[in-house]
Amino acid sequence: MNSKRLSPLLTAAILWLLVGCNKVYDIQEPDTETVPEATITAIKTAYPDAGNFLFKTLLKDKLWKAGFESNASKFETQVSPIAIVADVYKESNNITLYKSLTDKLKVKGGTISGLQLMEKSTDSTARMKYVLDGKSYLLNYYILNDWHIVKLIAGFPAESYSLQPADLPASTVAFCADNSIPLADSKITVNVNAEGKKVYFIQPQSQLYPVIFNDAGELIWIAKNSDGTQLVNKPNNEVGDATLLANVTAGYEDFTTPTEVAFESQFNGLKSVRYVFQKQSGVAGTKSFINELREVFVNATSGEIIYDQYSSYVFK
């Protein structure tokens, strides 16, 4: 991917020439794909003065990440051949609010970069990169009633986007068909890391938890027993094993507020575990009260942490 932006004058000239040919080139190395003119039209319908377009292919001929400039600001979204298909985010440098919040929390001391604010958001949604102790996180922020919500997901993804069932690995589609996982009404997301490895999250509307598959389309976590028995919520120390719990707890030993929402499942030899850790501070019912949670999905068969999310609730 060529990360260098063309000058506004040169970009405008190239776009004028290529739109005249009914296509705009995907600015990549090598140029092996073109972006339809309708894609540019969709962006310019919402942002008439948009320019300095930069596209990256996410799904060949189907989906691109689009960067552009409008009114001296930079924006990012995702586009299909005919429409904007994801939320539009505007770049910002004002990290004051997010820094002041994280400084109150367990995760204080990290570095914020790449702040983007969701356009037309009714809850002040923002996303950014957060680096703490050498580890990268996706930090999502929004307001819920009287609360500031801060969520950190471990492993900042290079890309994240929605898929249709036809875009999944064949082995994943076959597994879902064999195990009555309805793809048609599921939200399907893929996260891609810096090395290009993918993790697929399939979230059926009727289920609380996603079914997760690795880059090869193999099942790596599921909240379901293959024998049909119900999952049972328990304290953290009653699921998995002591070694696994110690590894997951490391660094969060002060999250000692009791919870009983952990569980484990057995599915055709795969053991999946969900841990939930909690810390409450301040005085309940006052603005000093802070609730912090950490939810971890572990493939107990391999010992790998599949999903790791920290959440905090801070009074406005």
pLDDT digits (tens, 9 = 90+) for 30-63: 445 678 999 999 999 999 999 999 999 999 999 9
Query: How far apart (Å, rounded) are the C-alpha atoms in residues 27 and 166?
Result: 26
Q: Which parts of 66-127 fold into alpha helices (H)?
A: 96-102
- Does residue 161 carry a pLDDT above 70? yes
* Domain boundary assignment for the chain: 8-90, 92-154, 157-221, 229-316
In this prediction, residues 136-155 reach a mean pLDDT of 97
**Matching CATH number, 157-221, of 3.40.50, 3.30.870, 3.10.450, 3.30.70:** 3.10.450
pLDDT digits (tens, 9 = 90+) for 227-241: 999 999 999 999 999
- % of residues, the chain, pLDDT over 90: 88
Please name the residues in contact with 258: beta carbons below 8 A apart, sequence gap of 6 or more.
Answer: 235, 278
pLDDT digits (tens, 9 = 90+) for 255-314: 999 999 999 999 999 999 999 999 999 998 899 999 999 999 999 999 999 999 999 999
pLDDT digits (tens, 9 = 90+) for 192-207: 999 999 999 999 999 9
In this prediction, residues 136-153 reach a mean pLDDT of 97
SS3 19: helix
Pull the structure tokens for residue 58. Answer: 């996410």
